[in-house]
Amino acid sequence: MDTIDIEATRAAGSGACLASWRREFPVLRSRVNGKPLVYLDNAATTQKPQTVIDAVSRFYAEFNANVHRGVHSLSQRATDAFEAARVRVQEFIHAASAAEIIFVRGATEAVNLVAQSFARPRLVPGDEILVSAMEHHSNIVPWQQVCRQTGARLVVAPINDAGELLLSEYERRLGTRTRLVALTHVSNALGSINDIARIVALAHARDIPVLVDGAQAIAHMPVDVRALDCDFYVFSAHKCFGPTGIGVLHGKRERLETMLPWQVGGDMVRSVSFDETEYMPVPHRFEAGTPDISGAIGLAAALNFVSIVGLGAIGAHERQLVDRATAGIGRIPGVRIVGTAKRKASILSFVIDGVHPHDIGSILDSEGIAVRTGHHCAMPAMRHFDLSSGTARASFCFYNTLEEVDQFVEGVRQAREIFR
């Protein structure tokens, strides 16, 4: 990745540094409904820096070719870039080996892969999979399906009215029939940050493997899968400034080695006859067909970008943003924040008394402010708070400014006034 002028601007102060960050994102110069774009839908997808756009474009313009097994120069160059991206992911999440990094279409496919390739062969009637009440649908539905296929049972660890996992209740539900725990690192609907190291330790004390949904964590805080000691960690590139359609399943090698492929076909086989097939070793046995080569290259560029900016700086700035937004809308009568965990990421869900979330979103959009409205693919969490229509959700990123937060707060105030 080409070096951006971040280090030089740090000496000039946080304002200059922030301006440098923002300049890397072309879409942030857009106008919506005649107003400058204020993009606060980062939990759904993050915007892409020019370095990522250029990396994807460069692949197609300069060395587009299929990877692996090709002897010609373009194929070798594409293969080198693709496998270098795998190593970059390994380094970013501190995995033990590049062989523990599997490229998939996104966190959803990664969960499904583990459900079908790891959990399903091991489950029998009466076994249990433990999830929490704050999970994204993608970390619920695959487990429901595998439970229907095997006769296993889905068990739910409850949350409190702040949106925090009740650890004592979680521990109480770790039983002799629990075969897997699947929990989110950060709630996409509430912003709650779970104590994953503690969650894993409690499960591992009973020999129970743990999958962590890291989709909302990967761009906002350091992730060290060896320190967390989780068995599987999943995330999507598009929530970390990378392309859509590419994601990562990290699995401990000793787990992956025991798993048969979920999808089969080209490039994941070593040899094929009409009598039998020999699969490639991990990670390639889980990557059937032509992979998203440009996506992996774009993801590597995105992780390089995040490393240059620094997750420490990202976290500090996002903390300022969410604190300012929380204080601002907290002063507006009739507005209620949903999700008030003590440890919280840069996600702010809220409702206005008597106003449908979609109406809030439309009013904000008229001012050029993009937020997400609805159940956020977390219907069980919304039901916990008795919110049939869901919430409006502002999700902040390091390229947002305090001025944009103030515009957002004023937009919420206007929405409240319109429907008084």
Please give the positions annotated as active site.
Answer: 377
Residues 307, 318: Cα–Cα separation, whole Å: 16
Name the nearest CA neighbour of 76 among 394, 366, 293, 236.
293
Secondary structure E strands in 267-334: 269-272, 277-279
- 91, 117 Cβ separation under 8 angstroms: no
Local structure of residue 192 (DSSP, 8 states): B
Instruction: Give the pair of three-digit tokens for residue 38.
Output: 């204020």
Residues 349, 357: Cα–Cα separation, whole Å: 10
Query: Radius of gyration of the chain from Cα atoms?
Result: 22
What's the one-letter identity of residue 395? S
- 115, 143 Cβ separation under 8 angstroms: yes
Local structure of residue 283 (DSSP, 8 states): T
Local structure of residue 34 (DSSP, 8 states): T
- 39, 28 Cβ separation under 8 angstroms: yes
- 377, 137 Cβ separation under 8 angstroms: yes
Residues 283, 411: Cα–Cα separation, whole Å: 48
Give the rounded distance of the alpha carbon of 271 from its chain centre: 35
DSSP string, 94-156: T-S-GGGEEEESSHHHHHHHHIIIIIGGG--TT-EEEEETT--GGGTHHHHHHHHHHT-EEEE
